[in-house]
């Protein structure tokens, strides 16, 4: 994942965080400024407009999203390991940037009139194809249950990161060792059937 090295990237990071917190891309600039601990002039200086900032947030999101799919393409790994690494990277990404789901939802809604949204949709569909390919090989001949098992897998990765705190009982996943143990159990579970 791309590390934050500048004020501009901190603004993008905090904007993506706030999108997730509010569940919408319509985050007030003043809220972003406060969260990023910058003055309003920084938004104008780095982005010019809020619309341009949102385009940059989408670009920032895509750059990091692509890194989560790398394990699915790694032919040196067995399919089970690919799924574990994909799950680990996806969970880490979702915990760091909870706005990802709201951003993808917005991209599907605005793809017809926004180039970056179209790119997010295309990249999401490509990611989906890669995941399907690996999961189908891993699960072997379970075509009739594939959708169910995939839904269990994705829900097990996404849900714990939505409200990553004590309220949903998933705070234990903040520790990498516990998260990896959890992911291993999830991957084994989907191979055993429902």
53-63 confidence digits (pLDDT tens): 988 888 888 88
* Rounded distance between C-alpha atoms, residue 42 and residue 32, angstroms: 11
**Unique residue bearing structure tokens 């897998």:** 153
pLDDT reported for residue 106:
87
- pTM summary value: 0.82
* Rounded distance between C-alpha atoms, residue 55 and residue 49, angstroms: 10
| CA 134 to each of CA 80, 103, 123: distance values in angstroms, whole numbers, following the listed order | 9, 25, 17
43-80 confidence digits (pLDDT tens): 889 999 888 998 888 888 888 778 888 999 999 999 99
- Cβ proximity of 58 and 122 under 8 Å: no
- Cβ proximity of 110 and 123 under 8 Å: no
């Amino acid at each position: 994942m791309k590390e934050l090295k500048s004020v501009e990237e901190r603004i993008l990071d905090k904007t993506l965080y706030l999108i997730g917190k509010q569940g919408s891309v319509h985050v007030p600039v003043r809220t972003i400024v406060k969260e990023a601990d910058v003055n309003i002039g920084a938004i104008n200086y780095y982005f010019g407009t809020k619309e341009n900032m949102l385009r940059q947030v989408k670009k920032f999101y895509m750059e990091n999203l692509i890194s989560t799919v790398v394990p699915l393409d790694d032919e040196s790994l067995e399919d089970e390991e690919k799924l574990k690494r994909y799950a680990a990277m996806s969970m880490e990404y979702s915990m760091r940037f909870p706005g990802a789901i709201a951003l993808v939802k917005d991209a599907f809604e605005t793809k017809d009139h926004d180039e970056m949204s179209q790119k997010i949709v295309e990249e999401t569909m490509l990611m989906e194809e890669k995941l399907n390919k690996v999961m189908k090989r891993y699960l072997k001949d379970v075509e009739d249950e594939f959708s169910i098992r995939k839904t269990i897998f994705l829900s097990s990765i996404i849900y714990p990161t939505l409200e990553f705190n004590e309220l949903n009982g998933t705070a234990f996943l903040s520790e990498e060792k516990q998260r990896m143990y959890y992911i291993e159990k999830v991957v084994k579970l989907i191979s055993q059937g429902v």
